[in-house]
Amino acid sequence: MQKVAAVTGGAQGIGKAVALGFARRGYAVAIADTDSEAGLEAVDGIVRAGGAAAFQRVDVSKEEQVHNWIVGIANEWKRVDVLVNNAGISRNGSMLELPLAQFDEVIGVNLRGAFVCAQQAAAVMKRQGSGAIVNMSSTRALMSEADTEAYSASKGGLLALTHAMAVSLGPYGIRVNAISPGWIETADWQKSSQRQTPVHSDRDKLQHPIGRVGTPEDAAAACLYLCGDEAGFITGQNLVIDGGMTV
Ligand code: NAI
């Protein structure tokens, strides 16, 4: 039976590379994203490459939309083998002035959204007796920069959520791990580095001893590894992929 991977925020950036990576491994891929145009394009790319994929417009902070998405996948494809909680936003700004609504929004998508998706997907995985979940954290969970409180807290929370869910779901054959990327060159990163001076953009590269920022494919490879049989005894872990930035 064909395996099924569910990827949130899979319309662009890291999530898009993750979705394509699973499709290349023979998974049917279900992409959830708030950006329908990019989501449909991502599906098109997978189908043109010979894979199977479907898109649904889902805001991960809305539990009813998540519920309908996961139920739809289980009806259509009968299983959910992998969930990658990749959808994420940042609202950085002066710690002293950040509106609480923005703090809540970031936690709502990055942390609560991941929990809602995991809760729904794990119900299907429990029935199957197997599954793998990957939460997209960040090196921001490990080292801070000024005025990134909401984002850093959401990503730190994801690491604790990963530990807790690994313990809760292990008995059902479900593994839960996290990935913490350093800078990954996505449209979002490019936008923020363009806002910065060239010095800042060079600084991003220099922060990584490997001498470059990461690619979405670097992050996708880590996801594929953690969800594969070769990682069958790994759960509750955080795989840092940052070219050595945090060592
Ligand atoms: P991106 O902005 O390129 O892609 C994020 C995707 O998530 C977009 O397609 C967006 O439409 C979708 N999304 C946003 N809010 C959503 C919601 N409420 N429901 C469903 N989908 C939603 O971002 P990128 O760079 O690909 O990042 C992906 C993940 O990796 C995020 O969780 C981010 O925090 C994390 N990350 C990124 C790093 C980087 O340097 N790019 C570094 C470390 C972590």
Tokens 């005025």 belong to 147
9 CB near ligand 1 (under 6 Å)? yes
Q: Which two tokens stand for residue 181?
A: 């990327």
CA distances from 81 to 74, 95, 130, 178, 244 (A): 10, 39, 7, 16, 31
Taking the centre of ligand 1 as the mean of its atom positions, its distance from the CA of residue 171, in whole angstroms, is 30
- The reported pLDDT for the residue numbered 208 is 86
Name the 3-class secondary structure at 177: strand
138 CB near ligand 1 (under 6 Å)? yes
Domains of the chain listed by start with CATH number: 4-184+215-241 (3.40.50.720)
Query: Which 8-state DSSP code applies to residue 184?
Result: B
CA distances from 14 to 149, 170, 234 (A): 22, 27, 22
What does each of the 247 residues of the chain score in pLDDT, given as a tens digit? 999 999 999 999 999 999 999 999 999 999 999 999 999 999 999 999 999 999 999 999 999 999 999 999 999 999 999 999 999 999 999 999 999 999 999 999 999 999 999 999 999 999 999 999 999 999 999 998 999 999 999 999 999 999 999 999 999 999 999 999 999 999 876 766 555 555 556 777 778 899 999 999 999 999 999 999 999 999 999 999 999 999 9
Taking the centre of ligand 1 as the mean of its atom positions, its distance from the CA of residue 140, in whole angstroms, is 14
60 CB near ligand 1 (under 6 Å)? yes
Contact indicator for 67, 55 with CB cutoff of 8 Å = no
What ipTM was assigned to the predicted interfaces of this complex? 0.99
The predicted model scores a pTM of 0.97
